[in-house]
Structure 1
């Protein structure tokens, strides 16, 4: 080989090396998804369920979304803590440069970050927080959970059809609880019933005995209740039984109070409790089986419930936004694509309402029964697709 030929070969090899290095340098990095939730404290199970649902979804897609790797960045909000949540979101947007945000258990936390979401045009998927007004606060909010109006209106209609005339409402005193109380009272009175007393319980309540005594003394035929998931549910149901409401025939009406995460802890005290909700771990469909199997593959101890399915479907929405934008940062284009989504969820057929950016979904009447030695939320009736009725109020 002549010196000239050797020089040409070396030049070509060097050019190829530079080209490969340049291509490597230009390879797109992972899509960054910041997920906020309580990973410590009494509500830490929500954070764990968000993590399980989100990671199981990505794993079910072969580890990539839209051909891109996904990097999750988790931040602990503790409980209802708007100030801290705002700081964490600002860091995720400015310092970590996330492409998408997800999570949010508590309404005050979601409300607090709306201006940051709007200003940065960061598509944000609500996995849980259930006050209707949230999606009104920023056009970059999408919700894959539910609202209290959505699940309460069909419950109130059903209660009226059961010839219940007098009901007490007992709710936790914060945004979703007020929504629940207002929704039930509005629809139940429209159907000819009477709410004989409205009880609001502080979010830090641990002793529900005094409130349950008020329910018992009211002469109501039923109590409609809303409490945040976790210890409050257990405490209220325990007081409901220990104070003799079940034996006295005061019917229990709720939404997520018999959540699968806590259900086995209730024991037989939960048998017969009636709720209206958008998801049951016992929902019989191929999609739910796939979801449950994906969760169990990730961690055999993970529970299929409304928090984990909210995260699973939330990641479906983020997946479709990534595909619509080609993995580029374009909040407006991502949100536009999400507005028209419809798919078969583990909970049944769902779609995103193009105007409200809230999920439209079936709501089911459920009753706690025992199957194979375990408690389940048995679906007894499908009320059909329900929108968020609260945004019109």
Structure 2
């Protein structure tokens, strides 16, 4: 399948200059030409809805600035990454080398992100990660030109421990898929829960993307923990919630999870999700003027309700605006561009957040409880939760 590429606008001035062989001075060209923004997101397949929400949020942030970055008009390029890691390097290289983007926004899938990451590190192009939580991108392979605006995989679960202990759940079983995101989510849970005084009595795993949970649910019943903590997402999360309830475990063993357990799946899970507690950096129900304003404007603009992915896309736009303004629109001025983003305070629908030294958000994690197909915020599980950025050395 060939990669879909859409050039949304085209600068006649740039094409004209190129065709006549005019070599304008670099600074003049940088200031007069449009900023070239590349989206490398999933537009087809399982994660298509996430890619669209991210792009919508991003475009909404720019629209609030009159559709400009640092006073300059913008030219957009889009590549459907198809959530396919084998195509990631080729797709990212096309945006950087052929389309010569100033900034590459992507992506959702952590495997695809690692391909983008390789290209970003080698080329020096500014890469803003609007979702993928893979640790290495802001740890051992952190880079001055790579910024994440979402979360690291261990951040939401890092905040679970104290919330569980506060509720008297001192012995827990952990369950997830056996894959990188599950392992990284476990790291946060293990650190947070044991630090709060909890004991993990068993760690259970299911091959990814297997959704046959019955044998492990039977084992959980025999172990009789105070609580179960988990990391699942998407259709597999809905199936786990239904199976957990069908096994009767929800009656006497409290279920906790990273917020992705109940994000976007409450309709599919139905009553089985009721009472489940999760930690997450956002909730639709956040009762703040900023969130209400965002949700109203998004719904009016896109005729749809925003989710966490839309918020992350919006915040990616807000961060880029800070950088562009700091560099006065000159994306070749890396020092000013990065300094503005490093020091940014993002006034987000999720609450204000700042950027860590390894370029990952330092943000509050909310404790949420499912009630009537809604993730209701019932408190803050962790204030200013940061990823440790282990092994990060900015070169």
Find the counterpart in structure 1 of residue 371 from structure 2.
Answer: 369
Matched, 1:388 2:390: no
Distance apart, 1:260 and its partner CA: 4.5
Moved more, 287-296 or 182-191: 182-191
Find the counterpart in structure 2 of residue 310 from structure 1.
Answer: 312
Is the 8 Å Cα contact of residues 101 and 123 (structure 1) preserved in structure 2?
yes
SS in 2 for 1:206: coil
Measure, in 2, the Cα distance between the counterparts of 1:43 and 1:203: 16
Find the counterpart in structure 1 of residue 52 from structure 2.
Answer: 48
Unaligned runs of 5+ in 2: 1-23
Find the counterpart in structure 2 of residue 280 from structure 1.
Answer: 283
Judged with a 3 Å threshold, the aligned counterparts in structure 2 of structure 1 residues 97 and 148 are, in CA distance, closer, same or farther, namely same
Distance apart, 1:344 and its partner CA: 1.7
Measure, in 1, the Cα distance between the counterparts of 2:182 and 2:161: 15
Which has the larger Rg? Answer: 1
Moved more, 378-387 or 202-211: 202-211
Matched, 1:150 2:148: no
Find the counterpart in structure 2 of residue 170 from structure 1.
Answer: 175
Q: Alignment length, in residue pairs?
A: 361
Cα deviation digits, residues 277-297 of structure 1 (max 9, x gap): 110011111221222122212
Distance apart, 1:390 and its partner CA: 5.9
Find the counterpart in structure 2 of residue 266 from structure 1.
Answer: 269
Is the 8 Å Cα contact of residues 234 and 266 (structure 1) preserved in structure 2?
yes
Measure, in 2, the Cα distance between the counterparts of 1:327 and 1:182: 40
Is the 8 Å Cα contact of residues 242 and 273 (structure 2) preserved in structure 1?
no
Cα deviation digits, residues 40-83 of structure 1 (max 9, x gap): 2222221121122112222233222322222332222223x332
Find the counterpart in structure 2 of residue 74 from structure 1.
Answer: 78
Measure, in 2, the Cα distance between the counterparts of 1:391 and 1:295: 36
SS in 1 for 2:249: coil
Partner residue of 2:246 out of 227, 242, 254? 242
Matched, 1:139 2:156: no
Judged with a 3 Å threshold, the aligned counterparts in structure 2 of structure 1 residues 245 and 51 are, in CA distance, closer, same or farther, namely same
Partner residue of 2:34 out of 30, 35, 42? 30
Judged with a 3 Å threshold, the aligned counterparts in structure 2 of structure 1 residues 258 and 184 are, in CA distance, closer, same or farther, namely closer
Query: How big is the alpha-carbon RMSD for the aligned residues of Structure 1 and Structure 2?
Result: 2.2
Matched, 1:190 2:195: yes
Distance apart, 1:224 and its partner CA: 0.8
Judged with a 3 Å threshold, the aligned counterparts in structure 2 of structure 1 residues 56 and 118 are, in CA distance, closer, same or farther, namely same
Partner residue of 1:257 out of 232, 242, 260? 260
Measure, in 1, the Cα distance between the counterparts of 2:213 and 2:55: 31
Measure, in 2, the Cα distance between the counterparts of 1:91 and 1:236: 39
Measure, in 2, the Cα distance between the counterparts of 1:110 and 1:177: 16
Is the 8 Å Cα contact of residues 102 and 125 (structure 1) preserved in structure 2?
yes
Unaligned runs of 5+ in 1: 1-21
Measure, in 2, the Cα distance between the counterparts of 1:121 and 1:57: 25
